Structure 1
Amino acid sequence: MQNHAQLTAIAYHLPQATLTNDALAQELGEWSAQKIFDKTGIAERHIAAADETASDLAFHAAEKLFSEHAIERDGIDFLILCTQAPDHFLPSSACVLQQRLRLPTSCGALDINLGCSGYVYALAMAKGLIEAGIRKQVLILTADTYSKFINPRDRSVRTLFGDAAAASLVSGGATQQGLGPFVLGTDGSGAKNLIVPAGAMRLPRSAATAVESEDASGNWRSQDDLFMDGAEIVQFTLGAVPRTMQELLDAAGKTLDDIDHVIFHQANKFMLDALRRKIRIPEAKFVIEIDTVGNTVSSTIPIAIARARQSGRIRPGDTALLLGFGVGYSWGGTLAHL
């Protein structure tokens, strides 16, 4: 009997420290706490400690998954870690986590370097591994610590991003209602619009890359810091997301009426509201779960699913359209029976 990949469990972990809008308003000036919330839909975001890495957050998310859902770690036979903040250039942080999580040595493990679309890409990889008969249970860990890339005086990104990790289990099952189809895409011409320019092989960090400058909007950053061209990102998103969603529905032979929930990458409330209006998605179907976590990059979709499940909004058997988009440019969408 063929195995069909199913998303069977999700857990997430947030670092202890929080950064509230009140604290940001005091630090940055000009923008009040209410103005920050009105622009972003975010009231607070969690921030990793100085000595806390993305793999630390991923470890705690995985341990929560195992304990909360009674999952045997010996049954995990592949680990995918999606992060843009690895512990080292090498080795792969997934390999380190295999040992730290006490997964069997027969478990494959790898990192993928993707941001806001990374969760959907990881689901696609897991589906391929399972339905090709290569593996039976895939653990997907998404974890990012963008706060470590952000200049404290850059309100254009500091108000948005929070640190977090999520753990998802994809397993083989008999039912054909699982994951898919998938629509994936890339446009590297937009790479420069969401980037940390310095720090790797193309432009190693140096005294020159650490020099800060002020942009026209009063934000400060250096080449060592995260840069986002907000206007270009909005333009890309408003074009790519509606097109990808329609391609996905067409590939599945469905319409929006057949979908219980639409869960986009939780970029910010302004972006999500603009997308919902443009695509004409009913508010009752549209999930926004960002107010106390912020934009957690690769973890926004699984965190939104988990929080909507906890509130009772998502019920067993519901169908969700998942769509991630952002850094790369990269985008991906799928349907998931939850």
Structure 2
Amino acid sequence: MGARIAAVDYYLPERVLDNEELATEFPEWSVEKISAKTGIDRRHISAPDEFSSDLAIAAARKLFARDAIDPQTIDYVILCTQSPDYFLPSTSCIVQNALGVPTSAGATDITLGCSGYVYGLGLAKGLIESGQVSNVLLLTADTYTKFINPADKSVRTIFGDGASATLVTGDGDVDSITAITYGTDGAGGKSLIVPNGGLRAGAALQPNAEPIVRELTPSGYDLYMDGPDIFNFTLRVVPRTVEEILTKAEMEREDIDLFVFHQANAFMLEHLRKKLKVPADRFFVSLAESGNTVSSTIPIALADAEGQGKLVKGMRVMLLGFGVGLSWGGLVTRW
């Protein structure tokens, strides 16, 4: 019994922040400059009373309705988020109850960002192929915009909120999800961090992250990103990881029908595509309408690719997430 991705869908909040609005707030950045720099035209912003559980529940209900999935058939819920509703209880427990998933199901949160979808698929595969469960509901949900200082244009132009829902089932072949590769470099944790709001708020893990140092009025969380450091990390890790995945899969680059990477920003993705020498028609980019939704970018891109007819049954797809942690992970899946 092999685990496979059976269905994917996603949900984006109603409120939209477009480049025209950002250019009004930051006149030194034109609409054209924001679009060229990020590849993002619009991002969706969660409402003040809308949180990760709400987004995850909405994504799951969309999936259930579209694919006629009975929540009573779910054996395990994995929720990937770095913006939980509470320190405790786990957000996955809130979601389990709201969705009507049976109390006999397991439910757990994983705290990962850009690599979280791949890690979640790895955990779902392990649960299924070890015979513990048959159907895993893998959810990703983040409300990063609640962490962002309103005056920090460098991250306001990039991040959006969103959630995804994926059904992973045990009726596939053992190689439906394969060549899983992970990596962690916690020394780079200071490069993308929310320095305030947690129990160790204001600690010296990254002094430059403090809002006053950045000439910002503190807003409570004040997400900080060292863009150049993250960019250099990506260029260092991603090409190496692609080769590791191909080696594990016993495949050549030409055997991959579609590459779907974490949708960080268009500039970075295009740089990676050229460095890897992947043709544009086999390298899917989908962030113009949603922005960087962290753990949800890969499943959103998968759903969009399928909806556009660029991802069809039988294709071999490489998924690769990389970023906050620092953390990365990739795999090959047969659609």
- The normalised TM-score by structure 2 is 0.96
Alignment-derived partner of residue 325 in structure 1: 322
> Structure 2: which amino acid aligns with 1:263?
V
| Secondary structure at the counterpart of residue 182 of structure 2 | strand
From 270, 274, 278, the counterpart of 1:273: 270
CA contact (8 A) 1:47 1:147 kept: yes
Following TM superposition, by how much is the alpha carbon of 1:211 offset from its aligned partner in structure 2, in angstroms? 8.1
| Secondary structure at the counterpart of residue 169 of structure 2 | strand
> Structure 2: which amino acid aligns with 1:309?
E
> Structure 2: which amino acid aligns with 1:213?
I
CA contact (8 A) 1:10 1:166 kept: yes
CA contact (8 A) 2:4 2:172 kept: no
> Structure 2: which amino acid aligns with 1:241?
V
| Secondary structure at the counterpart of residue 22 of structure 2 | helix
Query: Deviations for 1:259-318, whole angstroms, at most 9, x for unmatched residues?
Result: 100000000000101111111111110000000000000000000000010111111111
CA contact (8 A) 1:213 1:222 kept: no
| Gap change, CA 1:221 and 1:253, over 3 Å in 2 | farther
Alignment-derived partner of residue 206 in structure 2: none
> After superposition, where does 1:1-16 map in structure 2 within 5 Å?
3-16=1-14
CA RMSD of aligned residues (A): 1.6
CA contact (8 A) 1:18 1:44 kept: yes
Q: Distance in 2 between matches of 1:281 and 1:246?
A: 13
> After superposition, where does 1:137-152 map in structure 2 within 5 Å?
137-152=135-150
CA contact (8 A) 1:193 1:228 kept: yes
- The normalised TM-score by structure 1 is 0.95
Alignment-derived partner of residue 241 in structure 2: 244
From 68, 83, 96, the counterpart of 1:98: 96
Q: Distance in 2 between matches of 1:69 and 1:114?
A: 27
Gaps of 5+ in 2: 204-208
| Gap change, CA 1:61 and 1:319, over 3 Å in 2 | same
CA contact (8 A) 1:11 1:166 kept: yes
Q: Distance in 1 between matches of 2:61 and 2:126?
A: 25
CA contact (8 A) 2:284 2:301 kept: yes
> Structure 2: which amino acid aligns with 1:286?
F
Q: Number of matched residues?
A: 330
Alignment-derived partner of residue 213 in structure 1: 212
Give the stretch that moved more between structures: 169-178 or 67-76: 169-178
Gaps of 5+ in 1: none
Alignment-derived partner of residue 65 in structure 1: 63
